[in-house]
Structure 1
Amino acid sequence: MIEQVEDTVTDSFDKRTWHVIETVMSSHMTLCIDGLKSCFGLIIVGQSGTGKTTALDAFEGLHGQFYRTDEVTPASFVSHDSSKTEEELQQDDLLPKIKHQTVLNPEMAHWFSGDWDTRSDKWATLIRVMDGGGYTRNSGTQGERGYTGNYRFNFVGATTPLDERNWETMSHAGNRFLFHEMPAKADQDVYDDIYYSEIEYGDKVQAIQDVVQDFLTDRWEQVGGPEAVEWPSKLGEEVGEHLRYLSELVRHARAPEDGEPESPHRLAESLRNLARGHALLYGRQEVTIEDLEVCGRVALSTMPAKRRPIVREVVQLDTGERLTKMDVADRLGVSRHTAKDRIELVEELGLAAAFEETVQGGSTIAIGPETKFLWPSKITFPDR
């Protein structure tokens, strides 16, 4: 039962770890849906030491479903080493090894290093491979090599928070990844775990590996494995409207400050598939409102780090409610100058409206929600 998995993960670690594991499992289950073409990409983002790798360790060793690699590079999908024979190259090629599996890349620093052109080339290659239709390359020594046809896989990575230049690189390459934030634990909780836990860290990791992998092995067999589930694309009207809201929220929240929001197609498709994967995880072939909580967590994570706190505050406001500059500074724990910058930013993104408001001694800038971005009452608002 999935409830046993949740209990074991939460007891061994915490809700933060469970939320990441549940989201990874949901994305993984999309591989079982027939008719999908593109690959699903998910990045766990958080400061060093927050437990990102621990959550991904739960899946390591589940061969045939997950493929872990710490050094995946654009060139590794299809090899072109001039010193090797064709047979040796085929043994090196990553793409056929990961077909219909989820790639785990616990440290994605390589993908975000280098100058603009280097990073753009890396992401352009990855996005091309994640179209799911194979990949071919040409070189002077090996000629044309590669694979065509159905080579769908999923990609789950982890990284520290990205700076603006890397968000810009990804947007230029084509936004195919969703994010899930891994917030830091309170310092006191960290000390309590280290000094007072009766179970060693390694034993905790083994416990969650056992329960997660046993469950996924059974669920994989029950549904029939990769691309075995025929699922009508149409969703219920209420679910569809709520997914549309989350898609619009992400489009605006991660839009470049000096550009237009991305096209909704790819984003809407990714959130729909994540919801379907979550339903499959819980043994259903119908998406319900309960499947959208995981999509809500992802939506509020899929934006630059400095935008997340103010977006969370704004979408939770009631109609007619406003936050002054001082309110924003207090809630976000920032200076008044930074609070003013955040207010102007969410107004520029179209997520809220700014006003001049009279206060004792003069006036101040305040912000109120745009009606279309008020958080839907039927989707549980995610805790951090």
Structure 2
Amino acid sequence: MSPKQSQDQQKFLPSAEPTFSVAKVPEPSKATTFEEWHATIKQNFPELATAVEVSMSVVTQLLIRDVTNCFALVLVDSPAAGKTIAINIFDEIEKITYSSDTFTPASFVSNAANVKKENLPKLDLLTRIRRHMFLVRDMATIFSARDDDLMKNLGILTRVLDGEGLSTDTGIHGRRTLRGDYVFMMLAASTPISPRVWKAMGTLGQRIFFLGLHLRRKTAEELAHQLKDTSYKSKELECRKVTREFLHTLWHQYPQGVEWNKQTEDDSLLKVVSRCSVLLARLRGQVIVYKEKWEGDEKEFSHTVPSVEHENRINQCLYNIARGHALATGRTQLAPQDMRIVMLLAFDSAPGHRAPLFHELIRKGGELKTSDVTALLNCVPGTAHKEMRTFVILGICEEAEGDTLDTSNHIRLKEDLRWFLGEECKRYLEGDTGSDFLKPPLSNSDAVSGDPSPC
């Protein structure tokens, strides 16, 4: 490389790597507590209170100095369930949130061919969302892309969610690099995730957490009453106002961020986080179970080598969001009430039918038989056997024997996960397990390929 080329390359690199900082925001017109904020949300949108509370726990991680992992949360439910309202509540809070109705991962570090290289830094999305919560109302533009584009987009998203920046090399502009503290949080929404998206995310490495809204269907009487109620937009504006005031209160309370004392944490609470990490790592494991041959009336299944991620990243991210919740509620140390959102995320971030299947496993006391699975998933026994076999391969369950006259398959929760059957776990989940999962019947193609349908 010639001296001139070297100088040109350095010209477009950041002069100094960015480090931790807390945005300077306007003073709140009224100091707002978590209780006041939460009461307003619950009064206007009671069915969205949990989702908004978890979302608040995402953005408050920006105040914790040792958080170096980006946290991406996607709210999942059917269309018109209220996902966009939950995101809108955090919109237009200058220097804290940044929203975009559509984006491409290539925009994180731009290499636009029709722009001069010296002007490209003005286009970099990663610079604009640094130390913000990035709001994306619909992930369809990412998740609905063709398989090749999907892998490319998720690959870039996976890298930037490490919080370390991004380097690109193109034939047009050569090398462009953003390095340093490029931590941001992400709150997005999506309809139920398709099997091919789960497969792609598992191949590249999971970085995204999911939370189902699990909203029940309203009755005709409730829908009629809703028409007389205050408009959604008026309620939304009230929630947006109190959310802005609450976040401004927090940002002024911790202008230099928070130095978290990990050494004083309650070990029993940290163990809850670690148990959830172990569970989620197994639930998100990659394996394809397929029909290999027939022998009389018995189905023989084979499977690929299972790939289960190490728990380290999940463990840290779940700990971070628990700390975000603690900080939002006025504490700088974990408490039992912070474990609820950890449990919900561990369950709902499982792909496809695995989330409702694990819920059912808990409701049934840790043991399921074929008829339980066919009723839950509305599928044929062969597909149920495949789903049950998947749980065994991933180390979630073990095979069990039924009664003498019962010839159906049985699975039992493995011993190291049986804490999830205890009273402590049930207390965290009470009122939030939600049975209104979206669970369409599995098609024959899904049964053969081994990819679960969206729940």
TM-score w.r.t. length of structure 2: 0.77
Tell me which residue corresponds to 1:248. 278
Tell me which residue corresponds to 1:4. 36
What's the CA shift for 1:366?
2.8
Name which of 191, 208, 212 aligns with 2:243.
212
> Is 1:343 equivalent to 2:388 in the alignment?
yes
> Is 1:334 equivalent to 2:378 in the alignment?
yes
Separation of aligned partners in 2, 1:172 and 1:47: 26
- Code of the aligned partner of 1:12: N
Aligned pairs for 1:121-270 (under 5 A) are: 121-188=152-219, 191-192=222-223, 195-224=226-255, 228-234=257-263, 235-257=265-287, 258=304, 259-270=306-317
Aligned pairs for 1:307-326 (under 5 A) are: 307-318=354-365, 322-326=367-371
Tell me which residue corresponds to 1:377. 423
Partner deviation per Cα, 1:67-109 (whole Å, 9 max, x = no partner): 0012221221122223323453222211111110010111111
Partner deviation per Cα, 1:132-161 (whole Å, 9 max, x = no partner): 222232333323333222111112211111
Separation of aligned partners in 1, 2:221 and 2:187: 26
Separation of aligned partners in 2, 1:251 and 1:315: 18
Aligned residues: 377
* Alpha carbons of structure 1 residues 189 and 222: separation in structure 2 relative to 1, 3 Å: farther
- Code of the aligned partner of 2:36: Q
Separation of aligned partners in 2, 1:22 and 1:180: 12
* Alpha carbons of structure 1 residues 248 and 47: separation in structure 2 relative to 1, 3 Å: same
What's the CA shift for 1:352?
2.1
Separation of aligned partners in 2, 1:141 and 1:287: 49
* Alpha carbons of structure 1 residues 208 and 140: separation in structure 2 relative to 1, 3 Å: same
TM-score w.r.t. length of structure 1: 0.91
Aligned pairs for 1:36-185 (under 5 A) are: 36-86=67-117, 88-185=119-216
Point out the more displaced range, 183-192 or 241-250: 183-192
* Alpha carbons of structure 1 residues 189 and 370: separation in structure 2 relative to 1, 3 Å: farther
Tell me which residue corresponds to 2:443. none
Point out the more displaced range, 184-193 or 105-114: 184-193
Name which of 395, 399, 412 aligns with 1:354.
399
- Code of the aligned partner of 1:348: I
SS in structure 2 at match of 1:156: strand
* Alpha carbons of structure 1 residues 2 and 84: separation in structure 2 relative to 1, 3 Å: same
Larger CA Rg, structure 1 vs 2: 2
Separation of aligned partners in 2, 1:339 and 1:172: 24
Partner deviation per Cα, 1:22-58 (whole Å, 9 max, x = no partner): 1111011111111232211111111212111111010
Unaligned runs of 5+ in 1: none
SS in structure 1 at match of 2:138: coil
Partner deviation per Cα, 1:325-368 (whole Å, 9 max, x = no partner): 334444x26245254444333233322233342376x5322333
Point out the more displaced range, 192-201 or 229-238: 192-201
RMSD: 2.2
Q: Is the 8 A contact 2:111 2:173 kept in 1?
A: yes
- Code of the aligned partner of 2:336: I
Point out the more displaced range, 234-243 or 191-200: 191-200
Separation of aligned partners in 1, 2:194 and 2:173: 38
Tell me which residue corresponds to 2:344. 297
Tell me which residue corresponds to 2:331. 284
* Alpha carbons of structure 1 residues 83 and 260: separation in structure 2 relative to 1, 3 Å: closer
Partner deviation per Cα, 1:236-283 (whole Å, 9 max, x = no partner): 210121111100110111111242210111111111111111111111
Point out the more displaced range, 89-98 or 239-248: 89-98
Name which of 56, 59, 80 aligns with 1:28.
59
Separation of aligned partners in 1, 2:220 and 2:60: 32
Unaligned runs of 5+ in 2: 1-32, 288-303, 435-455
SS in structure 2 at match of 1:131: coil
Separation of aligned partners in 2, 1:27 and 1:190: 36
* Alpha carbons of structure 1 residues 383 and 205: separation in structure 2 relative to 1, 3 Å: same
SS in structure 1 at match of 2:153: helix
- Code of the aligned partner of 2:282: H
Point out the more displaced range, 6-15 or 165-174: 6-15
Q: Is the 8 A contact 2:69 2:317 kept in 1?
A: no
Q: Is the 8 A contact 1:356 1:365 kept in 2?
A: yes
